[in-house]
């Protein structure tokens, strides 16, 4: 069974400022800091943030069936502000997901505003239809909100 879920967030932050987080390893560094209840730790296994980079995402204790998984950056488009990751190993696959991909798209809405669109695409083994209820954009939505606040507070803007 295949499916997808999408979340969109409009921000008052320039797209380039958000891409400075999403398009680099900065997102991996910030997630455990800003959302420790979602991710306890992110470990860089290999790479520099470009295509082929592999991260291990480690969850905090208490999430049934989920301790960690590894994802690989399969697309990093710095011109169009698009990043795609694919789960390559770990608990998501052990639970019965055949594939689990996340796409982040940052789109300029104006010089000082943007939209973050996050899409989860997944395929589940037919023997585990209950896994569909595990797929949620809630953590990614929370991350988008935190990243927008962080970018607004931490990134200096040129005076207009």
Q: Given phi > 0 = left and psi -120 to 50 = alpha, else beta, which region is 66?
A: beta
The C-alpha atoms of residue 119 and residue 146 are separated, in whole angstroms, by 18
Options 5, 41, 83, 109, the catalytic residue? 83
Q: In whole angstroms, give the CA distance from residue 139 to residue 124.
A: 20
83 catalytic, yes or no? yes
Burial of 47 (0-12, 13-18, 19+ CB in 10 A): middle
Query: Which amino acids are annotated catalytic?
Result: 83
């Amino acid at each position: 069974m295949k499916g997808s879920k999408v979340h969109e967030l409009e921000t008052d932050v320039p797209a380039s400022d958000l891409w400075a987080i999403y398009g680099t390893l900065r997102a991996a560094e910030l997630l455990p800091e800003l959302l420790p209840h979602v991710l306890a730790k992110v470990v860089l296994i290999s790479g520099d943030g470009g295509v082929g980079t592999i991260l291990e995402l480690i969850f905090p204790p208490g999430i049934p069936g989920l301790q960690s998984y590894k994802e690989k950056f399969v697309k990093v488009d710095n011109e169009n502000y698009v990043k795609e990751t694919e789960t390559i190993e770990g608990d998501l696959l052990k639970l019965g997901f055949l594939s689990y991909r996340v796409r982040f798209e940052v789109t300029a809405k104006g010089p000082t505003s943007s939209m973050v669109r996050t899409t989860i695409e997944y395929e589940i083994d037919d023997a585990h239809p209950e896994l569909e209820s595990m797929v949620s954009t809630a953590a990614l939505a929370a991350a988008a909100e935190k990243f927008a606040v962080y970018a607004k507070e931490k990134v200096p803007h040129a005076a207009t």
